[in-house]
Structure 1
Amino acid sequence: MSQIGRITPSGSERALNEAYDTALLDLDGVVYAGGAAIAHAVDALAVARDGGMHLAYVTNNALRTPDAVAAHLTELGVPAEPADVITSAQAVARLIADQLPQGSRVLLIGGEGLRVALLERGLVPVESADDDPAAVVQGYGGPDLTWGRFAEASYAVARGVPWFASNTDLTIPSGRGIAPGNGAAVEVVRIATGAEPQVAGKPLPPMHRETVLRTGAERPLVVGDRLDTDIEGAFNGGVDSLLVLTGVTGGAQLLAARPEHRPTFVDADLRGLLTGQPEVAEKESGFGCGGWIASVADGAFALDGDGEAMDGLRALCAAAWTYAGDGACELDPSKVLELLGL
């Protein structure tokens, strides 16, 4: 089902883990946060996997290797193999390898995950702008990445060396809150040089291509917590998506979503994979879902009824997205979200 022109979340009579063959799961904010499993994630994924759904873990975080990510997931109780993990480091390494000959030197600004991905593609990581690199690649390197690494990237990029970035997420969730992501580090080099990198990660096509090549998914469902990466990436790839509210996106951001950021399905957490999704129906007085009716009148949201909070949010999405059309809904949703406890 295409997301183009979406004005309501979709319903599904079948459980999502039966309707789709592969879940393309984001990690930070979906499966874990700050290294600890998010509530209900382990049990929900076990049921989905035992029911025959292929679980693939797709992350813009380029810091860790697939081996390390798979080991971490397994420790959390989510059995995974390295081949189940797809990272933006792998996507950007393929993007570079498509443009440069094997054995090319690449100035590495990032962590071990990016280093391993470059080597997998026959590229040679180097540490200095004076090592005659044929490209610069920048990926999330964790909190210990020093300022001098950004300077090395800037020196090379200013000389005209092609610049690549694994992703441009400005933030990344952690156990202590929201931290600066690779996008913030990319901005440092952009400000210093005035250049623009080629970007591989979600929501751009190189990441979707990498994911399809590595998983062979035929009916994939993207599962994420971010509108501007996970959901937009699904939109760009022409596949369906499930937004879970366990990460960076809250109700207000969802209601204000532009068409490319509107998910196919919305649920509180990964238990949404195991159920059907209720239909949102247009009513004479607004949009109904479960026991709720939502509408927009006189420049304000109205919400009547009772029932599950997620049903109320789905109805509000339909009212907001219909009102906004191809734009973003700018109405204040605080009162109706407070009514839902969101």
Structure 2
Amino acid sequence: MTPDDHDHGPGTAEDGLAAEFDLIIFDLDGVIYLIDQPIPAAVDAVDRLLRRGSPVAYATNNASRRPGDVAALLSGMGVPATDAQVLTSAGATAAMLAGRHPPGTKVLVVGAEALRQEISAVGLIPVAGADAAPAVVVQGYGPRIGWSDLAEACVAIRSGATWVATNTDRTLPSKRGPLPGNGALVAALRTALGREPDQVVGKPAPGLFTTAARRAGADRPLVVGDRLDTDIEGANRAGMASLLVLTGISGAEELLGAPPVRRPTYVAADLTGLFEQVDAVPITTATGATASWRAQRDADGGLTLDGHGRTLDALRLLCRTAWQGEAPTRVEASGPAAGSALRELGLA
């Protein structure tokens, strides 16, 4: 049994969590799909939102696809989407650079073809090497980036080019587990150069989320993501509520130790959490839903869980208890039901 087996509580699309917000902003990898395959329940959840008329948007740090390509991928999975609903870190980076540099400025692109196309579309000139004397180096994820690409970027930056990263995601979700993301490639240059990028455009910077809300004219957006370090921190920086789903990178252990800037408003096993009763999914509000679970902080900094009930309710209670002090040193169970819940959450 998995956490979501316990956590599909009562509620409908009309009276559930999603009805409290006027825009749902989805991350993609780890939330809607993994690479190019839809995550179970994701397609049905988005369909329910669209049928009730809920506005949606998609904000991704992945700089290897253009908005039209992302919209086509989503539509092919049964999730209707338009170019205007998709915001990528590549597009945001190109728009930012176009506002700072005149047309014809040379930009050394270390990334996928989609990033080159975004740079070209705003009137800048993508180049491949340091000998072209680029004014800017833009670094985004690309599966074929190699040592020679990083070497050209290193030379250009040492020669005075501004260094911009589309994002610094350490990993990318995959069917085989987390794989190196753009942040890992940025780290290679950081080591070689001994400094940080001049600017990081994508999440956790709030720009993708604030742009999505502005386009939709939304006053009460909800950010839905799978990563604490990008989606949730970005939502908090933007002053927006957030829902963490446990279908991608961040899990229960990371959640319990999260610093305040990375703590979500809500947590659910998957996107069906959007349709739970509003009082069932918050983390920091104690409700009757967790009355059958008890969590206690021990003198040595550990947590002990006792009782029975839905697994995600146990996680929410553990978070409330853990966040009252330092990150817990361990989590233990008192009783078989608690032991089963901790195993399902990967905490045993």
Scaled by the length of structure 1, the TM-score of the pair is 0.88
**Structure 1 position 145, deviation (Å):** 1.9
CA distance in 1, matches of 2:219, 2:17: 14
Task: State the partner residue of 2:191.
Answer: 191
User: When the two structures are aligned, how many residues end up with a matched partner?
Assistant: 322
Task: State the partner residue of 1:117.
Answer: 118
Task: State the partner residue of 2:127.
Answer: 126
CA distance in 2, matches of 1:241, 1:183: 23
The match for 2:329 among 325, 328, 331 is 331
**Structure 1 position 316, deviation (Å):** 0.8
Q: Give, as a single letter, the amino acid of the residue that structure 2 aligns with 1:156.
A: A
Task: State the partner residue of 1:301.
Answer: 303
Q: Which moved more, 1:237-246 or 1:128-137?
A: 128-137
Does the 8 A contact of 2:15 with 2:275 survive in 1?
no
Task: State the partner residue of 1:9.
Answer: none
**Structure 1 position 304, deviation (Å):** 2.4
Q: Which moved more, 1:94-103 or 1:259-268?
A: 94-103
Per-residue CA shift, 1:194-250, capped at 9, x if unaligned?
232110010013333443344443211010010000000001000000000001111
CA distance in 1, matches of 2:221, 2:286: 28
Does the 8 A contact of 1:24 with 1:220 survive in 2?
yes
**Structure 1 position 125, deviation (Å):** 1.1
Task: State the partner residue of 1:243.
Answer: 244
Per-residue CA shift, 1:248-279, capped at 9, x if unaligned?
11111111111011100000000011222416
Task: State the partner residue of 2:173.
Answer: 173
Relative to structure 1, the CA distance from residue 313 to residue 51 in structure 2 (aligned partners, 3 Å threshold; closer, same or farther) is: same
Q: Give, as a single letter, the amino acid of the residue that structure 2 aligns with 1:151.
A: A
**Structure 1 position 335, deviation (Å):** 4.2
Q: Give, as a single letter, the amino acid of the residue that structure 2 aligns with 1:40.
A: A
Relative to structure 1, the CA distance from residue 334 to residue 292 in structure 2 (aligned partners, 3 Å threshold; closer, same or farther) is: closer
Does the 8 A contact of 2:168 with 2:186 survive in 1?
yes
Q: CA RMSD in A?
A: 2.1
2:260 maps to 1:262: no
Does the 8 A contact of 2:304 with 2:331 survive in 1?
no
Per-residue CA shift, 1:152-200, capped at 9, x if unaligned?
1111001011110000111111122211000111111122222321100
Q: Which moved more, 1:330-339 or 1:315-324?
A: 330-339
Secondary structure of the structure 1 residue equivalent to 2:173: strand
CA distance in 2, matches of 1:42, 1:314: 25
Larger relative contact order (CA 8 Å, sep ≥ 6): 1
What percentage of aligned pairs have identical amino acids? 47
Relative to structure 1, the CA distance from residue 33 to residue 109 in structure 2 (aligned partners, 3 Å threshold; closer, same or farther) is: same
- Stretches of structure 1 lacking an aligned partner (at least 5 in a row): 1-12
Per-residue CA shift, 1:45-97, capped at 9, x if unaligned?
10011111112111101001111111111111111111111111112112222
Relative to structure 1, the CA distance from residue 23 to residue 334 in structure 2 (aligned partners, 3 Å threshold; closer, same or farther) is: farther
**Structure 1 position 288, deviation (Å):** 6.7
1:1-342 → structure 2 map (5 Å cutoff): 14-142=15-143, 144-197=144-197, 198-277=199-278, 278=280, 289=290, 291-298=292-299, 299-324=301-326, 329-333=327-331, 335=333, 338-340=339-341, 341-342=344-345
CA distance in 2, matches of 1:57, 1:334: 38
Q: Which runs of 4+ in 1 moved over 4 A?
A: 279-283, 334-338
CA distance in 2, matches of 1:290, 1:45: 31
Q: Which moved more, 1:212-221 or 1:329-338?
A: 329-338
CA distance in 2, matches of 1:126, 1:210: 28
CA distance in 1, matches of 2:104, 2:215: 23
